[in-house]
Chain A
Amino acid sequence: MQAANLIDLDDVVHHAGGKPILSVAHLSLPPGRHGLLLGPSGSGKTTLLHALAGLLVPDRGRLSLLGHDLRAIGDAGRDRLRADHVGIVFQQLHLIHAVSIADNLRLARGMAGKAPDEKGLKALLIRVGLADRMNALPADLSQGERQRVAVARALVNQPALLLADEPTSALDDATCDGVIDLLLEQAALSGATLLVATHDRRLMSRLPVLLELAKPMERAA
């Protein structure tokens, strides 16, 4: 059965160190509707992304991905769901520096338990303009090239949902535009729905705000 929404979320609350760090009343995201999770630092954007990716289980609330209740399916189920349907671009990129960029992508398939797909991998590297650097180590690339590797890695398993955490923070306007163009273009080519968590209000001109989060104190106020 095909779920109507990629994401359905109701009354999700999460705490850390006894303090609330995330509180979301409702969020639904149908496939293909790219958007922003906007909020200042500390408002719980990353926590929400992690919850959507099944990397953490919120203390309470209902959270489903592609119709799967993330609270109910257990650790292994969340790992499987993430491997099959979610790609993540981290703020710090977190490429694996011990291996080449092609191996970063191969590893992403391997870790997701998927068979190697050299043809698909090369096509993806051509798409992000790195086909000629595929054997380079991440340390040998520019920041922009690394960003492209991170996006390619997030898309190598053809996820339904592409999550990007603060992809444009500390970038100048031109670079910021380049990154969001890259994300939108690659998400479109892969058929993935892009959800960007950011505090960068410049992106509001490029993507609709699906949810605006506030800091817990502001919420209390």
Chain B
Amino acid sequence: MNMLGLSLAYLRRRPLTTGLNLLLLALGVALIAFLLLLERGLENRLSRDVAGIDMVVGAKGSPLQLVLSAVMQVDVPTGNVPLAAVEELRRNPLVRQAIPVAMGDSFGTYRILGTEPAYIAHYGGQVVTGRMFEGPMEAVLGAEVAASSGLGLDGALVGSHGLTAGGEAHADMPYRVVGILARTGTVLDRLVLTPVSSVWAVHDHHHPEDKAPPTTGDHADGKAHEHGAGEGHDHEHAHHHDPDHQHDHDHDHDHDHKHDHDDGDGAAGQASSDDREVTAILVRYATPLAAARLPREINSQTSMQAASPAAEMLRLRALMGVGLDAMRLLGLVLVLAAGLSTFVALANALQERQYDLAVMRALGAGRGRIMGQILTEAMLVALAGTVLGIALAHAGVAALSGFSARARDLGLSAGQFSVGEVWLLGLSLLVALLAAAVPAIRAYRTDVSRLLAKG
């Protein structure tokens, strides 16, 4: 029998105390580890989705909202921009690539995105079944959409108005599935991709007076986005849409698109076949110099805004960081509480076992070995609690991925471990070491002779 065996025997003799300490520590560790995994998944997703996109050009408004809507496909757009702006950007020598995106409808919980094949190529998407879309109302499905909908080639899907599920269905304008993409682990996986012309066609069919794609946010959340003046133009999308108002196919709901562009480019001021609009333009720079000039030029000289996905993601991380920090703090409090509980348990155990420790000294064990005995016991609890906590966190991730498509979107995998978890183990062991230090030192200093003489 060695110290480890003896420590295990002592722990087994106090199942309730040991169990509670383990549980407390495991919960703290699980919370922190879960957040670590979640954060990493989120981080990876953000990185993958914004990779290679240097700038997003869209309607004036919140730049974070623009990036979230046009790149991450999670927020409502800020409005529309003229299609002409795409060509203008493409002519700019500072621009290597400009990809338009147009949205407004959804298929279940997935967005229908009007764009060009270049968008799919940008994310490394490959058509594994069928072909790339070529004409209006042809759709290529992301891997997640195809898997969850069960749609195959030549299947028909009907988009519904707005960017969240439950909008008015455009049953008379179905899309035909012509291709399915391989899984990329990017935003592509959860999109229905179609030419921009499809979005216009659906919108023209339902809103013949307006040549812009539906300014989707208003429909999606039932609120108007007001992009006010103050920058030399007035770009106002006022889609007054009463959320209680029933959508039906006679389109009697109140849509009021007003686009007043004072900058004189006339891109979308008046609805006509030449005044097509898109929701945003994803831009890749031709040269690093572009980063210094292009956003400033667009922001100051046009009715549009340019947002940097990298900068906005930093902002997003900072915003999310507060919440994550609070959760981490809670986890840390639990770990510290477990440390305190271990300290109390060890202090009590020391009182109960003072004769055992004295006998061990009498058997020839040095003071260091006695200290080691106490520390081993604390370390065992810390190790077991941490392993249990990490296992709980991974089980949590597995469960979450099992029932949440959004979690799967993050690429969360129960089988992946992070360096942070190793640090977590270090933290637990350190807390246990501190908790055991005082009892261990007391044991070290025990006057064995005096104790044994007492009986």
In angstroms, Cα B366 to Cα A214, docked, is: 32
Contact B365 A79 (CB under 8 A): yes
Let me know if B367 is at the binding interface, CB within 8 A.
yes
Q: Which of A95-136 contact B (CB under 8 A)?
A: 96-99, 103, 106-108, 110-113
Contact with A along B345-366 (1 / 0, CB 8 A): 0000000000110111111111
Let me know if B135 is at the binding interface, CB within 8 A.
no
Contact with A along B221-260 (1 / 0, CB 8 A): 0000000000000000000000000000000000000000
User: Contacts A90-B452, A107-B1 known; A55 to B362 CB distance under 8 Å?
Assistant: yes
User: Contacts A75-B366, A110-B2, A111-B363 known; A92 to B449 CB distance under 8 Å?
Assistant: no
Let me know if B182 is at the binding interface, CB within 8 A.
no
Chain B contacts for A43, CB-based, 8 A: none
Query: Contacting A112 at CB < 8 Å: which of B2, B6, B365, B447?
Result: B365
Contact A91 B364 (CB under 8 A): no
In angstroms, Cα B1 to Cα A79, docked, is: 19
Per CB-CB distance, the 9 closest pairs between chain A and chain B, nearest first, are A83-B364, A112-B364, A106-B1, A111-B365, A56-B449, A50-B449, A111-B363, A98-B9, A55-B449
29 contacts between A and B (CB under 8 A): A46-B453, A50-B449, A50-B452, A50-B453, A53-B362, A56-B447, A75-B366, A79-B365, A80-B364, A83-B363, A83-B364, A83-B365, A88-B362, A92-B355, A94-B355, A94-B358, A96-B356, A98-B6, A98-B9, A98-B12, A99-B1, A99-B5, A99-B6, A106-B1, A107-B360, A111-B365, A112-B364, A113-B364, A157-B364
Let me know if B206 is at the binding interface, CB within 8 A.
no
Quick one: which of A76, A82, A157 has the most chain B CB within 10 A? Answer: A82
Give chain A nearest CB distance to B392 CB in angstroms. 29
Let me know if A84 is at the binding interface, CB within 8 A.
yes
Give chain A nearest CB distance to B370 CB in angstroms. 9
Quick one: which of A53, A55, A75, A91 has the most chain B CB within 10 A? Answer: A55
Chain A contacts for B367, CB-based, 8 A: 75, 79
Let me know if B10 is at the binding interface, CB within 8 A.
yes
Contact A90 B359 (CB under 8 A): yes
Let me know if B369 is at the binding interface, CB within 8 A.
yes
Chain A contacts for B6, CB-based, 8 A: 96, 98-99, 103, 107
Closest to B355 in A: A94
Q: Which of B1-54 contact A (CB under 8 A)?
A: 1-3, 5-6, 9-10, 12-13
Q: Which of B365-404 contact A (CB under 8 A)?
A: 365-367, 369
In angstroms, Cα B278 to Cα A104, docked, is: 81
Known: A55-B362, A106-B1. 12 other contacts (CB 8 A): A50-B452, A56-B447, A79-B361, A79-B364, A82-B364, A94-B355, A96-B356, A98-B12, A98-B13, A110-B2, A111-B369, A112-B363
Let me know if B415 is at the binding interface, CB within 8 A.
no
Chain A contacts for B150, CB-based, 8 A: none
Let me know if B448 is at the binding interface, CB within 8 A.
yes
Give chain B nearest CB distance to A60 CB in angstroms. 16
Let me know if B455 is at the binding interface, CB within 8 A.
yes
Give chain A nearest CB distance to B296 CB in angstroms. 74
Closest to B7 in A: A98
Chain B contacts for A56, CB-based, 8 A: 447, 449
Closest to B364 in A: A83
A residues contacting B by CB (< 8 A) are 16, 46-47, 50, 53, 55-56, 75-76, 79-80, 82-84, 86, 88, 90-92, 94, 96-99, 103, 106-108, 110-113, 153, 157
In angstroms, Cα B13 to Cα A108, docked, is: 20
In angstroms, Cα B363 to Cα A86, docked, is: 8
In angstroms, Cα B1 to Cα A153, docked, is: 13
Quick one: which of A75, A90, A91, A157 has the most chain B CB within 10 A? Answer: A90
B residues contacting A by CB (< 8 A) are 1-3, 5-6, 9-10, 12-13, 355-356, 358-367, 369, 447-450, 452-453, 455
Closest to B13 in A: A98
Query: Contacting A110 at CB < 8 Å: which of B1, B10, B455?
Result: B1
Query: Contacting A99 at CB < 8 Å: which of B9, B355, B452, B455?
Result: B9
Chain B contacts for A111, CB-based, 8 A: 360, 363-365, 369
Query: Contacting B452 at CB < 8 Å: which of A55, A79, A108?
Result: A55
Contact A46 B452 (CB under 8 A): yes
Give chain A nearest CB distance to B441 CB in angstroms. 16
In angstroms, Cα B355 to Cα A84, docked, is: 21
Give chain B nearest CB distance to A170 CB in angstroms. 12
In angstroms, Cα B12 to Cα A133, docked, is: 21
Chain B contacts for A84, CB-based, 8 A: 364
Contact A94 B359 (CB under 8 A): yes
Give chain A nearest CB distance to B133 CB in angstroms. 72
Chain A contacts for B450, CB-based, 8 A: 16
Give chain A nearest CB distance to B389 CB in angstroms. 26
In angstroms, Cα B360 to Cα A113, docked, is: 11
Chain B contacts for A47, CB-based, 8 A: 449, 453
User: Contacts A99-B1, A99-B6 known; A107 to B363 CB distance under 8 Å?
Assistant: yes
Chain A contacts for B3, CB-based, 8 A: 110
Give chain A nearest CB distance to B70 CB in angstroms. 65
In angstroms, Cα B367 to Cα A9, docked, is: 26
In angstroms, Cα B7 to Cα A103, docked, is: 12
Chain B contacts for A153, CB-based, 8 A: 363
In angstroms, Cα B452 to Cα A50, docked, is: 9
Chain B contacts for A108, CB-based, 8 A: 363
Give chain B nearest CB distance to A143 CB in angstroms. 16
Chain B contacts for A76, CB-based, 8 A: 366
In angstroms, Cα B6 to Cα A99, docked, is: 7
In angstroms, Cα B356 to Cα A92, docked, is: 12
Quick one: which of B363, B367, B453 has the most chain A CB within 10 A? Answer: B363
Give chain B nearest CB distance to A97 CB in angstroms. 8
Query: Contacting B361 at CB < 8 Å: which of A55, A90, A103, A113?
Result: A55
Chain A contacts for B447, CB-based, 8 A: 56
Closest to A45 in B: B453
Chain A contacts for B361, CB-based, 8 A: 55, 79
In angstroms, Cα B366 to Cα A16, docked, is: 23
In angstroms, Cα B330 to Cα A27, docked, is: 65
In angstroms, Cα B362 to Cα A91, docked, is: 13
Give chain B nearest CB distance to A220 CB in angstroms. 22
